[in-house]
Amino acid sequence: MTTNDTALLVIDVQNDYCHPDGVFAAAGLRVADPDALVDRINALVAAARAHHRPVIWVDMEWPDDASVGLLAERSPFLRTRGLRRGTWGAQPLAGLDRRPEDHRVTKPRFSAFHRTDLAALLGELGVGTLVVAGVRTDFCVESTVRDAFFRDLRAVVAADAVAGYVEDLHRNSLRLMGTVFAEVVPGDAAVDVLAGRAARTVRQRPAARPADHHTT
């Protein structure tokens, strides 16, 4: 199996992470403009479908409180609620163009590769390049991008289709990923990658995108 295909990987665009009524927003961690984020992600999804690229949705969820692990100590608001399987908070944010024929991966930790079948799925699909979108830039997106690099998978981060809660952490994460772990590009350049055209890499000044200026 060759590994020269490109796939779109969308990470954790779920109610608890992104919706104003989610548990993260209740804790003061807000995505500034979730509707704009959905629009930018859907533009990537449309490009992937137009060029017959796999679309993979990654969702964070836990079956019970014990499964949260050490994160329950570091983020106490997640000890007894948030991202629980079968709840509204674990469901995708409204408006996303998710379809039954797409692929779905559920994960228990920040990285989409940790304790999941993502690596096996990418091997089956012959994917060697991932265009990455979603939240949170400096946690789940960056963790996944690093793990992709460790597996010799090329990652292209769509800078205006990822979101964080703290602006400087978001921007520093984009800068860090753009060193060796990924190519960080504007959304239109990510579309070019999905279309099989060369990307325009942005390293020191990543494209602007929605991120909250909250500084908790």
Closest to 157 measured CA to CA, from 139, 183, 122, 181: 183
Among the options 140, 147, 160, 192, which is catalytic?
A: 140
CA pair distance 107, 33, nearest whole angstrom = 25
| Gap between the Cα atoms of 112 and 130, Å rounded | 12
Please pick, among 16, 59, 107, 138, the residue that the annotation labels catalytic: 107
Task: Compute the distance between CA of residue 139 and CA of residue 142 in angstroms, rounded to an integer.
Answer: 6
DSSP letters, 184-195, are EE-HHHHHHHHT
Radius of gyration of the chain (CA): 16
Distance in angstroms (rounded) separating the CA atoms of residues 28 and 9: 27
Partners of 127 in beta bridges? 5
12 given a catalytic annotation:
yes
Question: 68-92: buried (b, 16+ CB within 10 Å) or exposed (e) per residue?
Answer: beebbeeeeebeeebbbeeeebbeb
Among 12, 16, 59, 147, the one annotated catalytic: 12
Catalytic residue ranges = 12, 107, 140
